[in-house]
Structure 1
Amino acid sequence: MMSDIATISTFTGPISTVVRRLAEKWSRQQATPEKSQQILLNTLSVSFVNFYLESMGFETDLEASDSWNPVQQTLMDVADLLIKNLGKLECRPVLENADFVYVPPEVQSNRIGYVAVQISESLQSAKLLGFIKEISIENLPINQLQPLENFLNYLESLELQATKCKTQNLGLFTSQDVVNLKRWFENIFESGWETIESIFITEQAWQFRSAESGFKNSVERAKLVDFGIKANRSSVGIVVKVSHEKNNFDDMKIVVDLHPTNGQEYLPSSLHVMILDEEEIAVMEAKAKNDNKKISLEFNAAVGDNFSVKIALGDISVIENFVI
């Protein structure tokens, strides 16, 4: 994600005219000069950190941050920036030649860390001075801040923990949230399993339907599989179709299809899908090539059988567990 981060102690850059105008607009809406100045500096600070983190490859969400909500701005002294999958980072502004960073009590919790942002008197530029993970005082001496290379390493370690926890939790979650395919015939569907039309909104649903010759009693559902930030938010759509011959619920035909999403024409070239038996042994598998528009796996199963579908993209995998 980054190179030579050990040489990074501070970061200085310009404040865009667009951001400055937005900050001034919000500041003019306040009732007092003090509140006006507070929101002006908070907005510039958050925007500058957002610019920096995006340039470093982190995914942020300004609109979901309290600092970008005009109502919350007025109610609190807040300068938070939401980093997706990690949490809120507080971006506290300081003026030139300041010795302390002011951190109000209301933001001394529910934060993954605090960054000090020095705003120039002209409001034309800003500098990241450093960070600290936790704080319990309102006025933090600037000389107690850790350098930026520690900050970047810290965020990367949080990403690794989040990915690890997600993988572990996913395994625990899916093992408990087993999809009961027989209940699909009673129109009972687990959370996340939607109609094909709702998952593949921009496509024609008939493209995802395959002929069920000899199996007239069938039901199908789709789910969006998101591999998360470490895979650049890559996703695929999984379609599971289950069918049986008339009046025979004992033997089922299962079709598992994978399709590209988000307007992509092909599946990710490193995609790997496996059908696992009850012992978690792969009994069927397929890998996407550069021009695969679809992967389809078909097999038969009996009532009471358990199986799993493992979908892997690089070193990130998602497992869906099923019972007939």
Structure 2
Amino acid sequence: MTTLSTFTGLISPVSRRLAEKWSKQQATPEKGKQVLLNTLSVSFVNFYLECMGFETELETSDSWNPVQQTLIDVADLCIKNLGKLECRPVLENSQTVCIPPEVTSNRIGYVAVQISETLQEAKLLGFVKETSMSHLPINQLEPVESLLEYLEECTQLQKAKPSNQNFANLKKWLENTFEAAWQPIESFFPNEPALQFRNTKEGFSTIVERAKLIDFGIQANSTSVGIVVKVSHEQGNKNEIKITVELHPNNGQEYLPPLLHVMILDEDGTVIMEAKAKNDNKKIELQLSASNGDSFSVKITMGDVSVIENFVI
């Protein structure tokens, strides 16, 4: 058996009172105990990670939602900009960690939290990045230190992404001046007929098109898609710009990933249009108009991972 490096600490009275409160609201004693242990586990992991310098979003987690905690067996903790970490409770003397089917996806990892019989103390036993087991043996967990290293790695990868404050200037695109990250369509779709992407309509000047690869990173199993942005203006009215945003499959895939969600945000961050991929979507297309000085953003999410591209006219 592997010797694990663990972390032990006291459960705060505040966390215990909240867990007991939510437990009493459940329909059966069994469900009440489940919610009690899940809440204590999430609280303890949240305390530990905050002490280690990680920023969490406890109140946005499903485990902190009274409706969700009643409907499913969930013990997730949202880590800011990274995703959901599942905090599975383990009773003393148990040799396995229970992983319910409803939490086997959209997780960046699983932490085992041993709760004492008195509910006074908890111990982090270790973690795994992913698992297909419904009952994971405790001796297969990685040390707690590996969890910290993994989260730090995820944080550094997130920081390495291009800043969301870098705006692509679409007015300059019409002057054939482009940001380095935005490349000709053929750079990303070399095997696709060029005419597949053309959509020039009468009354508009020739459309300027550019593409970019959106990589969601290891949190989304290295899934990627291509984004194509087309820009044109009406003949005789260069102040009114027409913009088309398209998402295309990448890596030889025929369809877009079904968890894909794209939103157009105005300059205040309000969603003005959106679309979600279905199982057989080969493309998503959104169209909007803008004037000189306007700005907007395209937010693309894959599960719990989001990438934002900003544009200005």
TM-score normalised according to structure 1 size: 0.53
| Equivalent position of 2:113 in the other structure | 117
- Among 8, 11, 31, the residue aligned to 1:35: 31
- Among 12, 15, 26, the residue aligned to 2:11: 15
Displacement, 1:166? 4.4
| 1:137 partner letter | M
Cα separation, 2, equivalents of 1:132 and 1:68: 22
Displacement, 1:9? 2.1
Displacement, 1:13? 1.3
Query: Which has the larger Rg?
Result: 1
- Among 130, 135, 145, the residue aligned to 1:149: 145
After superposition, the Cα gap between the structure-2 partners of 1:165 and 1:73, relative to the gap in structure 1 and judged at 3 Å, is: same
| Equivalent position of 2:101 in the other structure | 105
| Equivalent position of 2:50 in the other structure | 54
User: What SS does the corresponding residue of 1:19 show, helix, strand or coil?
Assistant: helix
The answer to whether the Cα contact below 8 Å between 1:90 and 1:115 also exists between their aligned partners in 2 is yes
Displacement, 1:192? 3.9
Cα separation, 1, equivalents of 2:165 and 2:312: 17
The answer to whether the Cα contact below 8 Å between 1:93 and 1:116 also exists between their aligned partners in 2 is yes
Displacement, 1:12? 1.2
The answer to whether the Cα contact below 8 Å between 2:295 and 2:312 also exists between their aligned partners in 1 is no
Cα separation, 2, equivalents of 1:122 and 1:69: 25
User: What SS does the corresponding residue of 1:54 show, helix, strand or coil?
Assistant: helix
Displacement, 1:137? 1.1
Aligned length: 201
| Equivalent position of 1:127 in the other structure | 123
Displacement, 1:110? 1.2
| Equivalent position of 2:90 in the other structure | 94
Cα separation, 2, equivalents of 1:153 and 1:32: 39
Which structure shows the bigger proportion of residues in helix conformation? 1
| Equivalent position of 1:84 in the other structure | 80
Displacement, 1:165? 3.3
The answer to whether the Cα contact below 8 Å between 1:179 and 1:321 also exists between their aligned partners in 2 is no
Q: Deviations over 1:181-235 (max 9, x none)?
A: xx9976999944359xxxxxxxxxxxxxxxxxxxxxxx977899xxxxxxxxxxx
Cα separation, 2, equivalents of 1:12 and 1:178: 55
Displacement, 1:122? 1.1
Q: Deviations over 1:254-276 (max 9, x none)?
A: xxxxxxxxxxxxxxxxxxxxxxx
User: What SS does the corresponding residue of 1:59 show, helix, strand or coil?
Assistant: coil
- Among 156, 161, 172, the residue aligned to 2:157: 161
User: What SS does the corresponding residue of 2:74 show, helix, strand or coil?
Assistant: coil
Displacement, 1:164? 2.3
Structure 2: gaps spanning 5 or more residues: 167-180, 183-209, 213-227, 244-263, 270-291, 298-307
After superposition, the Cα gap between the structure-2 partners of 1:168 and 1:29, relative to the gap in structure 1 and judged at 3 Å, is: closer
| 2:9 partner letter | G
Q: Does 1:193 align with 2:267?
A: yes
| 2:267 partner letter | W
After superposition, the Cα gap between the structure-2 partners of 1:79 and 1:194, relative to the gap in structure 1 and judged at 3 Å, is: closer
The answer to whether the Cα contact below 8 Å between 2:267 and 2:296 also exists between their aligned partners in 1 is yes
- Among the aligned pairs, what percent are the same residue? 61
| Equivalent position of 2:256 in the other structure | none
Cα separation, 2, equivalents of 1:85 and 1:137: 27
Displacement, 1:161? 1.7
Alpha carbon RMSD of aligned pairs, Å? 3.6
Cα separation, 2, equivalents of 1:83 and 1:67: 13
Q: Deviations over 1:248-297 (max 9, x none)?
A: xxxxxxxxxxxxxxxxxxxxxxxxxxxxxxxxxxxxxxxxxxxxxxxxxx
| 1:117 partner letter | V
